[in-house]
Structure 1
């Protein structure tokens, strides 16, 4: 949890102001429908209006652009703010609203002022550009009356703050009034900018003054090495076992976002990949269901062959124009009536039935082959979803994006994929150390394929969870140990990097690479084998080698 109440934002504002004041905007990019970045030389100020993490901070990493074309809002921002100087940053009281002041010379040589409001309000978070008279020029998100009945924002209207309950500015409250609110347990209800967690650390008027006057104190708190709470005030979560301090809010946020895989680019790309794969999987499942129906229908081909045999036995009695003929079914030992086409002669009717039987038989063979292929496709797509979930950084997702583009699940965006630089061989797989031995594993199906069929030698040992999508693991022959503890460690890694859920009991198979085969036309990462040893392990929550 990244904790930002009004008091926290006041300290963030001071930090941003000291870093950016008087600098000019050089470039503006809109990274998604909910985010944008202002570039002051090499310094990037990133804004996100994502409901899960509305925030602005100095971003260390370049955010990816996921918009197919520039939005109207971006074009307007560039028109008014490119080459504008940031003259001030203020907070509206202790509300979660920051107001960025910009000045710029227009075409007539006149100095014009503009304001950029950043409202940090959950799903209603927004970025609003106004002129010096607070008349709205444009805004990132437009809400209808149904979505937000309290306030309607649109170009040419005057910007007004959201309607909130009137509270006392914490810098102005008198000690006796504060103590009265403290007794009534109404501090957060009556005093502006104090979040619930902050209030838990205020037991006196002096505590309030200390929190207001303390320097910014960015910290991330951990429980079992997992970040559970990040704040800039001297407050802490209820359950933690370690803490790390940072020099600045921006350093803390960049670290926290990387640790929690919350970066805008990461989150957007992950969602995009999952959506594309789920869509392809749904389409493939539909095709598979239709093929299975066809197989049921075409399994009756023997019935039509038998019908042809029966008709052949009475063909001498059939004449052109007959609509049916009675015959004895010597397969079922009963009398039947065979429908005929009166426009065909006797031999034509017989050929029609035999042709239908042959066509259904050929169709059955083709459908069974297609069913195998599409089931392999479903398995492949499920493995891609598993790899997406396991990818903890943007680079891993980008590699999966490349794979899906090559597989034509995603459309090629921008320049042709052929123009991309070839990856170095050691970028084609992940590595880890087990008992001082280097173990190799695939982080996506493309890497699985490369690792197993190009990198591994005949006698190297291959590990994989049985019947569950996941990473291929390769142990070089000279590094493989028959000791059960070593085999178990590799198996635990294979289980961890699979679709299996922590706590599940799974079977991991291992065999020499020479026992593996890749069927012609099989999807990336697909292998077959006839012999393998097994070991059963419990999928770990985290790897501790």
Structure 2
């Protein structure tokens, strides 16, 4: 962004800004929004797309810059200024309540450190830490043809205000005089050369589009630049989610056993019991004859357990795998299908794409959210699903969540953690936020959510369907919502 283009832009929009009252200052990524009644001013602080534009519409999805917004709210714009041809603009504000105060918004568009600042007589507040303020150089208007011929590009940009390297490359005696005429008021039709990075020209022969005003050019170019960035971010998010899915597939495949491998666990337990007289406590392995295979086999043992307990350990694992393998294979198949659907999906908003993929992958009686860590959050869709989720699908070590004092769905966190460990605080808060979202406290703030492991839960036989009793519980306070990554 050079000072000449900023100067020409401010000429177009200053009259529209002066007299307006600021309702709020908001931000989305690196795009600042000043709400001016039914109108708005947008300031792009993207280093690759610096600029600003006035709009008669208001874009949604911006979040308040509370520290600045609370101070300028209600103030009136009294003037818009530019210091010579520097890439910096100042918006003068007048505020009379709660006390008379002179304020100034400074829009700094130096590419090294673009910033949006609020200045008062006693302090300055910046959106970003680094703030640049330079003494104006010699105006490009004072440059004559002879001096231009003797200057290298680097010296031209370094010593004269109003131009950047792109405009400097286009300068010749004819174009220099044209710029001076434009600054004196001659009509101009700026040309958009590219949106990423933003490249504007007054003289380019190859360009994307010619505009009738700088404001329309900046509005179109910055909007397209932001859209392209969001699409790029969405694609990066998609690749990240798919990569995490593939990691989970690897982990699941390692846990999948063949029927013969599952059966061997039961056989091993039987062989230990059949050879109790040969096995001493404290040994880590034993060699026994396997009549099923008609050969000797080595059995690994836990030296801290008795032979009988070792046998029971094999039987428990056999039952666990026998019961869990079908579910494990279902999870793997659903995950593979989900990843395939996600791969084929066009670039759309990340949260919408992931939810669509999950919905298309498998129709379950539960809402399903797969966290970046690999943990899964399941939410019952109705009373019957709540009961099935909590008392049929949940494992003893899974975590149950429910809002306190409000009706809501049963929510289950299935953490992917080593046995004996607890889920992270972030996972607990995410699961609690989901539970609050699927409850009648959805529109509340700082909602209390109880949680406990499934093994500390039992049905309330005297209560309504879905009613449970928590024998132990912990409480976390969260704002309802779904994870940003889902």
Task: Confirm or deny: 8 A CA contact 2:138 2:161 kept in the other structure.
Answer: yes
The secondary structure found in structure 2 opposite 1:122 is coil
Structure 1 partner of 2:147? 180
Q: Sort the Cα spacing of 1:322 and 1:184 in 2 relative to 1 into closer, same or farther, 3 A.
A: closer
Pair 1:292-2:256 in alignment: no
The secondary structure found in structure 2 opposite 1:113 is strand
Pair 1:252-2:243 in alignment: no
Cα displacement (A) at 1:61 = 4.3
Q: Distance in 1 between matches of 2:370 and 2:324?
A: 31
The secondary structure found in structure 1 opposite 2:9 is helix
The secondary structure found in structure 1 opposite 2:10 is helix
Which residue, 111, 123, 135 being the options, matches 1:122?
111
Task: Confirm or deny: 8 A CA contact 2:81 2:90 kept in the other structure.
Answer: yes
Task: Confirm or deny: 8 A CA contact 2:271 2:290 kept in the other structure.
Answer: yes
Structure 1 partner of 2:51? 55
Q: Sort the Cα spacing of 1:27 and 1:6 in 2 relative to 1 into closer, same or farther, 3 A.
A: same
Equivalenced residue count is 356
Task: Confirm or deny: 8 A CA contact 1:119 1:126 kept in the other structure.
Answer: yes
Structure 1 partner of 2:80? 89
Structure 2 partner of 1:210? 178
Q: Alpha-carbon deviations, 1:396-436, whole Å to 9, x = none?
A: 7796588589866599xxxxxxxxxxxxxxxxxxxxxxxxx
Structure 1 partner of 2:332? 371
Q: Alpha-carbon deviations, 1:284-330, whole Å to 9, x = none?
A: 44433322221259863233344356567xx3x74598548764334
Q: Distance in 1 between matches of 2:166 and 2:30?
A: 27
Q: Sort the Cα spacing of 1:167 and 1:410 in 2 relative to 1 into closer, same or farther, 3 A.
A: farther
Structure 1 partner of 2:6? 9
TM-score by structure 2 length?
Answer: 0.60
Pair 1:40-2:4 in alignment: no
Structure 1 partner of 2:159? 190
Q: Sort the Cα spacing of 1:400 and 1:248 in 2 relative to 1 into closer, same or farther, 3 A.
A: farther
Q: Distance in 1 between matches of 2:126 and 2:112?
A: 15
Q: Distance in 2 between matches of 1:286 and 1:306?
A: 32
Q: Sort the Cα spacing of 1:284 and 1:337 in 2 relative to 1 into closer, same or farther, 3 A.
A: closer
Q: Alpha-carbon deviations, 1:317-366, whole Å to 9, x = none?
A: 745985487643345544456578998797x8767655544443443333
Q: Sort the Cα spacing of 1:38 and 1:141 in 2 relative to 1 into closer, same or farther, 3 A.
A: same
Which residue, 92, 98, 123 being the options, matches 1:101?
92
Structure 1 partner of 2:125? 138
Cα displacement (A) at 1:120 = 0.4
Unpaired stretches in structure 1, ≥5 consecutive residues: 144-152, 154-160, 412-545
RMSD (Å), alpha carbons:
4.2
Q: Distance in 1 between matches of 2:45 and 2:171?
A: 30
Deviates more, 1:10-19 or 1:331-340: 331-340
Q: Distance in 2 between matches of 1:327 and 1:409?
A: 47
Task: Confirm or deny: 8 A CA contact 2:115 2:127 kept in the other structure.
Answer: yes
Q: Distance in 2 between matches of 1:30 and 1:404?
A: 32
| Residues 97-496 of structure 1: pairs in structure 2 closer than 5 A | 97-107=88-98, 110=100, 112-122=101-111, 124-131=113-120, 133=121, 135-143=122-130, 162-163=133-134, 167-173=137-143, 175=144, 178-185=145-152, 186-204=155-173, 207-214=175-182, 215=186, 217-221=188-192, 231=200, 234-236=202-204, 239-240=206-207, 244-258=209-223, 260-263=224-227, 267=229, 271=233, 280-281=241-242, 283-295=244-256, 300-307=261-268, 310=271, 315=274, 318-319=276-277, 323=281, 327-331=288-292, 333-336=294-297, 353-354=314-315, 356-383=317-344, 386-388=345-347, 391=348, 400=353, 403=356
Task: Confirm or deny: 8 A CA contact 2:27 2:65 kept in the other structure.
Answer: no
Q: Distance in 1 between matches of 2:351 and 2:301?
A: 62
Which residue, 68, 73, 80 being the options, matches 2:68?
73
Cα displacement (A) at 1:99 = 1.4
Q: Distance in 2 between matches of 1:180 and 1:227?
A: 33
Task: Confirm or deny: 8 A CA contact 2:338 2:357 kept in the other structure.
Answer: no
Q: Distance in 2 between matches of 1:405 and 1:76?
A: 44
The secondary structure found in structure 2 opposite 1:124 is coil
Task: Confirm or deny: 8 A CA contact 1:104 1:113 kept in the other structure.
Answer: yes
Cα displacement (A) at 1:15 = 1.1
Q: Distance in 2 between matches of 1:409 and 1:276?
A: 16
Q: Sort the Cα spacing of 1:27 and 1:192 in 2 relative to 1 into closer, same or farther, 3 A.
A: same
